[in-house]
């Protein structure tokens, strides 16, 4: 049966999630601890919809940490965004920055393709994490 949640050891931890059996992870408990956005992104990043999801609290914690870094980064650069022309001018004089910029453009193109064409949300989340890591390296976050 597809869509079952299995433990981090790969063994099925729940036969079938059921309120009456009390054998599932409640979204309310995860939402209260990490927030609903973290829960949603962690589920999307965990596996494609047609596959089993290996539930792991550590992956939810990691996603929360990632989203916190994104929020911190966005607050840091708010109002400091540079025009595309200025970025391209900077790239002309810096090979490392140019390679990073090109890699980021490719990641964004793949992100869009994964969502629009393939509906691979888990891959698109991975591309966003990769993009953010590249931005962090460029800006020394």
Tens digits of per-residue pLDDT, 59-87?
999 999 988 988 887 776 666 656 667 66
Taking the domains of the chain in order of start, what are their residue ranges? Answer: 1-78, 82-141
Per-residue pLDDT reduced to its tens digit, 21-70: 666 677 888 899 999 989 988 988 888 878 888 778 899 999 999 889 88
pTM for the complete prediction? 0.63
Bridge partner list, 54 = 6
């Amino acid at each position: 049966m597809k869509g079952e949640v299995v433990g981090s050891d790969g063994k099925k931890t729940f036969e079938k999630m059921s309120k009456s059996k009390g054998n599932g992870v409640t979204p309310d408990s995860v939402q209260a601890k990490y927030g609903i956005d973290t829960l949603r992104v962690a589920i999307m990043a965990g596996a494609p919809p047609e596959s089993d999801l290996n539930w792991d609290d550590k992956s939810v914690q990691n996603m929360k940490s990632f989203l916190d870094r994104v929020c911190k980064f966005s607050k840091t650069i708010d109002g400091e965004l540079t025009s595309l022309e200025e970025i391209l001018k900077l790239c002309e004089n810096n090979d490392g920055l140019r390679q990073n910029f090109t890699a980021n453009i490719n990641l964004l193109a793949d992100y869009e393709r994964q969502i629009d064409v393939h509906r691979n949300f888990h891959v698109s989340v991975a591309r966003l994490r990769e993009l953010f890591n590249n931005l962090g390296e460029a800006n020394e976050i």
